[in-house]
Amino acid sequence: MGKEESKEESKEKVLVKKEFINGEIAKIVAIFSPMVLVKYPYFVSLGRRSRKREILYEAVESGGVKVKWQVKSRDYLPGEMELKVWCWILERISEAPKPLPIDLYIPYTLTGIAKYWDMPTAGKTLSLIARAIENLHLSGIWHWIQKPGEGPNDLRYSLLIGKVGKGEKINETIIDKNALFLNPIVIKFLNEAPIKPSSLEEVKFFADKNLIALRIYELLGWKFWSARMNGENKVSIKYSELVKRVGLRQEKYKSVATQQLSRSHEALKERKIISEAPKWKDSNGDWVITYKIGKTLIKEMEEWAKKKQIKAHIKQLELKTAPQEVDYAIGEVLGFIKKGKREEFEGLVRKILKKPNGQELIYKAISETKAEVVNGRVKNKTAYLITILKKYSG
């Protein structure tokens, strides 16, 4: 009976995995960004006249957590080109097995990054990409957090810690056979801290068209997780909070503030991130902006939720079926040798059962041992069976 139940549950597990690979969720390609880069301003430069070297965000967040976030750069704060390089990096990180090694490096060429964004591979473009990579290295982040009743946590880092390469040069920048090294703190974030999935298609669209729209898209995706839990299809955010998180100047007059965000809101509406123009409501010298979430973002959230549920379901199945399969297999082994203890075989049996044909391998090991015993070539069947099981566990 145990064997039949195990087969049925294994079949269900296979079907779930097949749906996970071939179902709707496969239609949206995700890139995963550390949550801190979603919540706080980093890619903020809008043009030569608006470029700044420093930005500071301070707030008391939910639960009384005090936060200070500061980005400083030697030349100018990261902007569009830095964002494009970072998106290129994120896509490669998203494809890599987890956890990422702490000494992770990413091979690259300047022409490869240019082609990824359909940009010209001329010298000027390559120089801009090289400068952006340098700026990701030179732009330092100071992230200070203090929870109530605890001491502060003080982090200082940059996204990249170095690069190496050799090959043809352009303006003293190597354009061939290069490697980028991520900061170990960033790798730790990607492995252990909250990360946010975003649609690669939408990120690439907004990165090319409207940097502020991209930042609002990321913020709406983050806040929509909470809203949808309460059955809401709207997200409200104060104007003062929005501009601080995005990295814009806070305007005093509503007409100027609405104009400040109008192009970004139009881009979000065009891509169906929001379904209509946002509503503005006065709030003690500030404004609350309410966004009605559009079909694109709703579909994304459903896909991310589905992916999460399927992974959780697979994990539950594995936890539920593994003990039954192990008990059954060990029962077969002990039944054959007529003596022995469970702990002699449990580790090997568990290892073999991780293989797709694990049960069959255990039956095969028992059969082989039985044949050798019958032929008189083996006197200690327990030791021989352990030897065969070790062979199949490798």
Q: Tell me the domain boundaries of the chain.
A: 2-13+304-393, 40-202, 210-293
3-state secondary structure of 156: strand
Residue whose entry in the numeric block shows the structure tokens 């002990």 = 334
Residue with token string 């049960």: 359
User: Tokens for 360?
Assistant: 């069959």
**pLDDT tier, 177 (very low <50, low <70, confident <90, very high otherwise):** low
Least confident of 23-32, 153-162, 261-270: 23-32
Residue 111 corresponds to which amino acid?
A: T
Residue 324: per-residue pLDDT = 60
**Res 23 pLDDT > 50:** no
Cβ proximity of 365 and 348 under 8 Å: no
Catalogue the E-assigned strands of the chain. Answer: 30-34, 54-61, 65-72, 105-108, 140-146, 153-157, 160-165, 169-170, 173-174, 178-182, 195-199, 234-238, 279-283, 286-292
Inform me whether the pLDDT recorded for 373 exceeds 90. no
Determine the residue type at 368.
E
**Per-residue pLDDT tens over the stretch 349-362:** 888 887 777 777 88
pLDDT at site 167: 55
Interval 137-159: pLDDT, tens: 999 999 999 999 899 999 999 99
The reported pTM is: 0.70
Q: Amino acid identity of 327?
A: D
* CA 167 from centre of chain: 32
Pick the most confident of 103-112, 113-122, 349-358: 113-122
357 in helix, strand or coil? Answer: coil
Q: Which of 161, 164, 168, 174 is nearest to 130 (CA)?
A: 174
CATH topology of domain 210-293: Arc Repressor Mutant, subunit A (1.10.10)
pLDDT at 279 over 90: yes
Q: Count other C-beta atoms under 10 Å from residue 243's C-beta.
A: 18
Q: How confident is the model at residue 319 (pLDDT cuts 50, 70, 90)?
A: very low
Query: CA–CA separation, 159 vs 140, rounded Å?
Result: 8
CA–CA gap between residue 332 and residue 363 (Å, rounded): 8
Which of 29-43, 160-174, 194-208, 221-235 has the lowest average pLDDT? 160-174
The winner for highest mean pLDDT among 92-96, 136-140, 317-321, 346-350 is 136-140
State the Cα–Cα distance between residues 105 and 184, nearest whole angstrom.
11
Q: Which two structure tokens, joined as six digits, stand for 11?
A: 């079949």
By C-alpha distance, which of 249, 197, 243, 200 is closest to 224?
A: 197
Cross-strand bridge partners of residue 362: none
Measured in degrees and rounded to the nearest 5, phi and psi for residue 201 equal -60, -45
Residues of the chain with pLDDT > 90, as a percent, come to: 47
